[in-house]
Structure 1
Amino acid sequence: MTKDIVLRQVEVVRVITIQKLEYTTEDVADIMPKGFNNTIRWNVGHILIVQDQLASNFAGLTQQLSQEFVTLFGNRTKPSEWQVEPPTLQTLTYELKKQTAYIKESLGNRLQEKSKKPYVRLGFRMETIGEILTFSLHHEGMHTGVIYAIQRAIESSNN
């Protein structure tokens, strides 16, 4: 797989994520329907911080997002425990777009490089920046699917 194909997939997956937010209001972004652990806003923020942490932890880049993002959207965090006002959807969407450009620029020519440490998931060992980046697309797609499911649950409860 060539660099151009991988970077195109990064773009495609991110555009799909951003499109899921186009008609989402601030109020809807914070609804947690029955059966869900988090909200649309949390899932978007989580996508952002995981990509940021992968770039910093495995490619050695400086983390781009503030520690506040990690506190709000990290693993095992919940909107019900937030102590500060979360970023707006407009801010999150801006960060998603900015992050796509940053990934392409900062990692695009490094896909074949060994990562700072391997990423191991379910016994599979990923050792290059490209392997980890392409795996992160699965993570983003999974959370985009959750966003879609939350949107559908909210729509169903309003009918």
Structure 2
Amino acid sequence: MTQFIYNHLKTVRSITENSIMRIKEEFADLIPPGYNNNIRWNFGHIVYVQELLAFQLSGIEQQIPETFALYFSAGTKPANWIGTPPTIDEIKEEMQQQNERIQKINQSRLAEKLSVPYTNKGGITFYTVGEAVLFSTYHEALHMETIKRIHQENKNRSQYC
């Protein structure tokens, strides 16, 4: 059963990686009316939250740059950024490396209890590493839908193709 989980994680991340490959740097920061964040923020947020859920909660050292927390953690938004956020290429690279690291997590760890249960902003509590990791695919899909909507909205507004 655990191999199915790893295959699912790999499939979801493959979809996300294919999407980020099509984003040009100059279009990553457009924010259409009605949105708080841009495409860059959503991709960076996916990486940041995946790192939290798959590694930090289970006591595995995080390996993404600290700047990801500054720019992409929950509650952040481009309007409040100070400095230069990671480029799309840097986010792509972290995303690919993260996927490789996730695939190497020992399958027996998925059943491990977290030292402290973790409750996310939506009120969902995770008790095991596996629960947190599985939720990350749902979270990633939500942000992929937002990325698609932002992209479509910008296309409709003729800002880019």
Decide: shared fold, TM above 0.5. Answer: yes
CA contact (8 A) 1:38 1:78 kept: yes
Distance 1:77 1:125 in 2: 22
Distance 1:78 1:107, change over 3 A: farther
CA contact (8 A) 1:57 1:116 kept: no
Distance 1:107 1:96, change over 3 A: farther
Give the number of aligned pairs.
Answer: 158
Aligned to 1:138: 138
Code of the aligned partner of 1:150: I
Aligned to 2:127: 127
* Pairs within 5 Å for 1:33-44: 33-44=32-43
> Per the alignment, in what secondary structure is the counterpart of residue 115 of structure 1?
strand
Aligned to 2:20: 21
Output one character per residue of 1:30-69: Cα deviation in whole Å (capped at 9) or x when no partner.
0001111100000011011111112343210111112211
Code of the aligned partner of 1:74: S
CA contact (8 A) 1:72 1:86 kept: yes
The structural deviation recorded for 1:107 is 4.8
Residue ranges of structure 2 left out of the alignment (5+ in a row):
none
CA contact (8 A) 1:118 1:126 kept: yes
Identity across the alignment (%): 34
The structural deviation recorded for 1:113 is 1.0
- Which shifted more, 47-56 or 147-156? 47-56
CA contact (8 A) 1:41 1:89 kept: yes
Aligned to 1:76: 75
Code of the aligned partner of 2:56: N
Output one character per residue of 1:81-101: Cα deviation in whole Å (capped at 9) or x when no partner.
211211111111111111011
TM-score (norm 2): 0.90
Distance 2:149 2:109 in 1: 35
Code of the aligned partner of 2:154: I
The structural deviation recorded for 1:116 is 2.1
Aligned to 1:54: 53
Residue ranges of structure 1 left out of the alignment (5+ in a row):
none
> Per the alignment, in what secondary structure is the counterpart of residue 158 of structure 1?
coil
Aligned to 1:104: 103
CA contact (8 A) 1:20 1:147 kept: no
Distance 1:35 1:106 in 2: 39
CA contact (8 A) 1:11 1:100 kept: yes
The structural deviation recorded for 1:20 is 1.6
Q: Which runs of 4+ in 1 moved over 2 A?
A: 106-109, 119-126
Distance 1:120 1:90 in 2: 32
Distance 1:34 1:66 in 2: 30
